């Protein structure tokens, strides 16, 4: 891919009123494993970080995207050109474990960051990136990079920012080429809580903000593989009393809490790698007969626990405008997605029903057991960011728990 910088423009005698046009100084680069170098202007933190380069097509919610633990180990390219223009705040953070060091390692945007223009803004996007140690690259042709990812898949790369504009390209290329990638990598342990936590915050209200729940009728244990806060808010608002436990919690300890249902969360990395310790526990939870609901990584590992396989996707699904068919309602939903692995629909065993499918590429987007209250989806029904077409899934989980209690 050619350099994303605009070519230098010569002085024009015909239009002197515009003055001389100077090429922006290169203060950040993206170096891919195949040797491609893309130059631009740096924003956010300085330094260098290696990760898998993906693209996200959401038009809103960049703060939620960059704090989603499922993006750990990735460099996010935003296809929407204006990122950062509404600033940031302290409410739209999706990370549950604020002490976790792992997460998005970099972001790539087209247009320079402007001053924030939103009544909820509390901090400039550039300062927010610095505070979270996220390296940014701006001023590049994000459409060309997105087209490259669509054609060749998600590459490993290094994003680097230096105010001095000094880069050791050979060293950065070596970092990208030697990084093993996300296949076989367990990242859930890096973003999960390390101890139990009770959650009582409900969904955001335009007038009152986040209200607190005084308790719910259904006791839910949520296993944190990289939980998003809005999932917990959806559960609480649906009438659940939620306790969050670390990713490595044993099934015996979860069942000893006598929950009405168990939730398996989203998260980053390879489901087969995290599944080495999580899948045996998920099998025990399935055998217990308790209602079970999984999202994203939780969906993938539930699939493995039931006998299916997972595969690494070519370009993954990252955005808030993905069409999904729900076979249980015979409706098409527009959903939010963020995953680079998928359950192989051809490997689904007898007794497991495919409930949802992506209408973009036909990949699996949901499963359920025929004879037990166990189901999961690949997409993100909590919709943060994204449409709320799939909010009914939290009600479905509650209905399973109500039926089991009766």
One of 41, 94, 281, 382 is an active-site residue; which one? Answer: 382
CB 257 within 8 A of CB 223: no
**Residue 233 dihedral angles phi and psi, to the nearest 5°:** -65, -40
54 is catalytic: no
From 148, 157, 61, 62, select the one nearest 105 (Cα to Cα).
157
Q: How far apart are CA 210 and CA 204, in angstroms?
A: 5
380 is catalytic: yes
Secondary structure E strands in 84-217: 106-108, 135-138, 156-161, 197-199, 201-205, 209-212
One of 173, 322, 356, 380 is an active-site residue; which one? Answer: 380
Helix (H, G, I), strand (E, B) or coil at 199: strand
Q: How far apart are CA 61 and CA 78, in angstroms?
A: 11
From 200, 219, 215, 214, select the one nearest 405 (Cα to Cα).
219
Helix (H, G, I), strand (E, B) or coil at 253: helix
One of 107, 240, 296, 299 is an active-site residue; which one? Answer: 296
52 is catalytic: no
Q: How far apart are CA 73 and CA 50, in angstroms?
A: 8
CB 31 within 8 A of CB 172: yes
Secondary structure E strands in 206-351: 209-212, 218-224, 240-246, 261-264, 292-295, 310-326, 331-343
Q: Which residues are catalytic?
A: 296, 380, 382
């Amino acid at each position: 891919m050619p350099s994303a910088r605009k070519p230098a423009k010569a002085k024009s005698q015909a239009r002197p009123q515009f003055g001389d046009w100077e090429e922006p100084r290169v203060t950040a680069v993206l170096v891919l494993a195949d040797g491609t170098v893309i130059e631009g202007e740096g924003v956010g933190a300085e330094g260098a970080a290696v990760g898998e380069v993906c693209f996200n097509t959401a038009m809103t919610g960049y703060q939620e995207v960059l704090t989603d633990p499922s993006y750990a180990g990735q460099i996010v390219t935003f296809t929407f050109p204006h990122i950062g223009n509404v600033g940031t705040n302290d409410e739209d953070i999706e990370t549950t474990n604020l002490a976790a060091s792992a997460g998005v390692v970099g972001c790539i945007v087209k247009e320079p960051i402007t001053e924030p223009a939103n009544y909820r803004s509390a901090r400039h996007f550039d300062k927010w990136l610095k505070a979270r140690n996220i390296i940014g690259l701006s001023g590049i042709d994000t459409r060309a990079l997105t087209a490259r990812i669509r054609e060749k898949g998600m590459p490993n790369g290094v994003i680097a920012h230096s105010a001095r504009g000094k880069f050791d390209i050979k060293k950065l290329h070596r970092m990208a080429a030697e990084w093993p990638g996300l296949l076989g990598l367990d990242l859930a342990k890096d973003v999960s809580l390390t101890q139990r936590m009770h959650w009582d915050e409900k969904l955001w209200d335009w007038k009152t903000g986040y209200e607190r729940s005084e308790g719910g009728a259904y006791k839910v244990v949520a296993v944190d593989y990289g939980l998003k806060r809005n999932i917990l808010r959806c559960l609480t608002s649906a009438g659940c009393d939620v306790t969050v436990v670390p990713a490595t919690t044993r099934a015996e300890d979860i069942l000893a809490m006598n929950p009405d249902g168990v939730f398996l969360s989203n998260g980053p990395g390879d489901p087969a790698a995290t599944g080495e310790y999580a899948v045996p526990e998920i099998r025990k939870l399935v055998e217990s007969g308790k209602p079970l609901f999984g999202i994203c990584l939780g969906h993938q590992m539930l699939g493995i626990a039931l006998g299916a396989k997972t595969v690494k996707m070519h370009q993954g699904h990252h955005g808030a405008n993905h069409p999904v068919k729900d076979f249980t309602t015979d409706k098409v939903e527009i959903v939010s997605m963020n995953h680079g692995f998928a359950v192989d629909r051809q490997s689904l065993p007898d007794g497991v029903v495919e409930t949802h499918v992506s209408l973009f590429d036909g990949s699996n987007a949901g499963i359920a057991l025929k004879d037990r209250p166990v189901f999961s989806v690949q997409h993100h029904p909590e919709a943060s960011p994204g449409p709320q077409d799939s909010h009914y899934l939290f009600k479905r989980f509650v209905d399973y728990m109500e039926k089991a209690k009766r």
